[in-house]
Amino acid sequence: MARVRTQPKETRVGGRLWLEKGEESFLGGGRIELLEKIAEHGSISAAARAIGMSYKAAWEAVDAMNNLADEPLVIRETGGRHGGGTRLTDHGRRIVELFRVIQGEYDRFLGGLSAAIGDFDRFFDLMRRLSFKASVRNQFQGRVLYLVSGAVNSEVVVELSGGDRLVSIVSNESIEQLRLKEGDPVHALVKETSVILLVEEDGAKSSARNKLCGTVVRCQEGAVNGEVVIELAGGRRVTAIITNESIHNLGLKEGAYACALIKASDVILAVSV
């Protein structure tokens, strides 16, 4: 039996373009496509359907982008003749345009490398840059406003865009390792399960140092626990995971005013290296 000789496959350089904020993934092709569809349809759900993404995943992507961006990229509008919707901010539109320009240059760069690569088969992952990904939904970018040093621990006050602040208690050793000082950019991470929700009518007092208040923009119940997302005045969003019973007892629903309480010891700080 005669052997059939197959044409050798061409070796080329491949890669995916991501913009990062520090060590965290900020924008990639998928998120940019989502933003473009939001601009086109004026709706998160319609944009998600257009690109084959779940509604929940789309909202999580929007929350992540808004929390990491210098200014919100997407805002939600209520009321109006058509009942409101979702749209890109001016900053969001500029980011999309910038990414497409960078994407064009990146594609041309990869094309040049592919033309010159020859037989270096193991060169295929040259352009792959792995970025840090965290399972924590609440990721905020800010700057160190000031530090208060103690005997063992230090208090770090982080100012977020929009005027909100987060206080974190970390060890003095961590301060030295992170080389934190006033004015430095920093990322604050908070687990969803560490966020306590409060409605102002409760009149309850808490020892939690951080109190971030805003409007509930999403309230979705699960089998036992539910997800509640609060949008702050500056456009940042805080996600909390609480029981369905707590959602009912607090009367939480979209449009309601609520506050997120976060202990200073639950705020994790990270810096770019």
- Per-residue pLDDT tens for 36-59? 999 998 888 899 999 898 988 898
Q: Which of 99, 138, 87 is nearest to 260 (CA)?
A: 138
Which two three-digit tokens encode residue 223? Answer: 């089998």
How many whole angstroms separate alpha carbon 156 and alpha carbon 136? 20
- Per residue in 84-127, pLDDT tens? 578 898 888 888 888 888 888 777 777 766 665 554 443 433 33
For the chain, how long is the longest CA-to-CA vector?
86
Q: How many residues does the chain have?
A: 273
In CATH, what class is 13-133?
mainly alpha
14-18, 141-145, 206-210, 212-216: least confidently modelled range: 14-18
User: Is CATH 3.40.30.10 what the domain over 142-185+266-270 is classified as, yes or no?
Assistant: no
DSSP 8-state code for residue 208: -
Fold match between domain 13-133 and domain 192-264: no
Listed by start position, the domains of the chain span 13-133, 142-185+266-270, 192-264
184 in Cβ contact with 142 (< 8 Å): no
This prediction's pTM: 0.56
How many whole angstroms separate alpha carbon 206 and alpha carbon 203? 10
Place of tokens 């982080």: 158
**Side-by-side strand order, sheet with 257-262:** 196-198, 257-262, 210-221, 225-232, 237-243
Give pLDDT, residue 225. 92
61 in Cβ contact with 34 (< 8 Å): yes
DSSP 8-state code for residue 2: P
DSSP 8-state code for residue 241: E
Give pLDDT, residue 29. 83
How high is the mean pLDDT of the chain? Answer: 80
CATH architecture of 192-264: Beta Barrel (2.40)
- Per residue in 159-193, pLDDT tens? 987 788 999 999 988 888 888 899 998 888 999 99
30 in Cβ contact with 103 (< 8 Å): no
